[in-house]
Chains A and B, each alone.
Chain A
């Protein structure tokens, strides 16, 4: 009985530790709801820490293409993510136009984009640390220091 309890405790401890490690950078969340006939409903919740890991499985060719296409924007995105991460929770942009409402804000170290209009709702939440990691990785691909 005690042995079983010890095994159970070990399993539970492992699950908690794995969960804490996986979710240490928060969640990447994408929710899209289109309120029309045949409209799509996408709800994607991913642990943000898994994204840099998953990038290792992206073919190098695709990485280089992304790096070429977004070369000039990578330093800007990286600097922006780094600086935004230092901010308190703030609304950066808010647009209200009749029934349409767009908000870009920082919340708990993540960038939050909410778009609401009568036809669709889009909510994106992405930890800034993840954006920084990803942009850095893409930028470094160009110089050839990653994935070689």
Chain B
């Protein structure tokens, strides 16, 4: 019985061997195709609102698509994938000079603002990234005043107050790779090369570029190799 089974197995192996050989031959190609797909970089935007309607907006854009489409747009300041900045209304700020200054500066914290009511603004350059951190909101925890407070009541008050603060405080984190800034400045004197910036951005690793938490709303912008907008995407 067992001989019969072995023979049958050998026979079926003979039958399957060309298929297995073909599969083995093709497997590097399959691996290559997979990695080629994985090499595509995607820019993701996710906006989640936790209000009663629970609005969610997810946008997934392949960077290569943006690279190809941008040069096709010729409208106002945008031409051939470049923005002409002399026409931009920057309220007297020389945007290019500002970016140049940041690019050539050493690592460190450029701006630190700590307001009395919980405001915290920090702009820094670190590890090849321009980092912007903003916390804004009520810095003090409002207490209800009672003539006589028992401890349980007070704890409940504190919890409610902390929840109010948690929803009213907004956090903004921006992380811009300076290589992208470099690439954007590589164009002419009065222009920012968006396509070059995108090209460099697509060479970056998985990165979270923008994170905003404002009360009930959360906004995230990140790049990775996935074509899906799952909430865990992008390195933090």
| A96 located at the interface, meaning its Cβ lies under 8 Å from any Cβ of chain B in the complex | yes
Question: Which chain A residues border B69 with CB–CB below 8 Å?
Answer: 76, 79-80, 83
Given A83-B68, A90-B60, A97-B53, residue A76 in contact with residue B37 (CB < 8 A) = no
Question: Which chain A residues border B136 with CB–CB below 8 Å?
Answer: none
Contact of A83 with B62 in the complex, beta carbons under 8 Å = yes
| A20 located at the interface, meaning its Cβ lies under 8 Å from any Cβ of chain B in the complex | no
State the majority secondary structure of interface residues on B. mixed
Question: Which chain B residues border A84 with CB–CB below 8 Å?
Answer: 65
* Nearest B residue (CB) for A105: B60
Task: Choose among B37, B56, B61, B75 the residue that contacts A94 (Cβ–Cβ < 8 A).
Answer: B56
Contact of B65 with A83 in the complex, beta carbons under 8 Å = yes
Tally of contact residues, B, Cβ under 8 A: 22
Contact of B73 with A95 in the complex, beta carbons under 8 Å = no
Question: Which chain A residues border B228 with CB–CB below 8 Å?
Answer: 90-91
Alpha-carbon separation in the docked complex, A93 to B65 (Å)? 14
| B72 located at the interface, meaning its Cβ lies under 8 Å from any Cβ of chain A in the complex | yes
Tally of contact residues, A, Cβ under 8 A: 20
| A92 located at the interface, meaning its Cβ lies under 8 Å from any Cβ of chain B in the complex | yes
Question: Which chain A residues border B37 with CB–CB below 8 Å?
Answer: 88
Given A76-B73, A80-B65, A83-B69, residue A92 in contact with residue B59 (CB < 8 A) = yes
Question: Which chain B residues border A95 with CB–CB below 8 Å?
Answer: 55-58
Alpha-carbon separation in the docked complex, A80 to B73 (Å)? 11
* Nearest A residue (CB) for B57: A95
| A98 located at the interface, meaning its Cβ lies under 8 Å from any Cβ of chain B in the complex | yes
| Per-residue B-contact encoding for A85-108, CB less than 8 Å = 1, 0 else | 001101111111110000000000
Question: Which chain A residues border B60 with CB–CB below 8 Å?
Answer: 90-93
Question: Which chain B residues border A78 with CB–CB below 8 Å?
Answer: 72
Residues 57-98 of B at the A interface (beta carbon under 8 Å)? 57-62, 64-65, 68-69, 72-75
Alpha-carbon separation in the docked complex, A87 to B53 (Å)? 32
Task: Choose among B54, B59, B72, B227 the residue that contacts A87 (Cβ–Cβ < 8 A).
Answer: B227
Contact of A83 with B59 in the complex, beta carbons under 8 Å = no
* Nearest B residue (CB) for A96: B56
In whole Å, how far is B164's beta carbon from the nearest beta carbon of chain A? 26
| B229 located at the interface, meaning its Cβ lies under 8 Å from any Cβ of chain A in the complex | yes
Contact of A98 with B56 in the complex, beta carbons under 8 Å = no
Residues 36-50 of B at the A interface (beta carbon under 8 Å)? 37
Residues 5-57 of A at the B interface (beta carbon under 8 Å)? none
Binding site for B on A (CB under 8 A): 72, 75-76, 78-80, 82-84, 87-88, 90-98
- A90-B60, A92-B59, A94-B57 known; 17 other A-B pairs, CB under 8 Å? A76-B72, A76-B73, A78-B72, A79-B68, A83-B65, A83-B68, A83-B69, A84-B65, A87-B65, A88-B37, A90-B228, A91-B228, A94-B229, A95-B55, A95-B58, A97-B56, A98-B54
13 A–B contact pairs at CB < 8 A? A72-B74, A76-B69, A78-B72, A79-B69, A79-B72, A80-B69, A87-B227, A88-B37, A91-B58, A91-B228, A95-B55, A96-B56, A98-B55
Going nearest first, the 6 A-B pairs with the smallest beta carbon separation are A90-B227, A98-B53, A75-B72, A94-B58, A83-B65, A79-B72
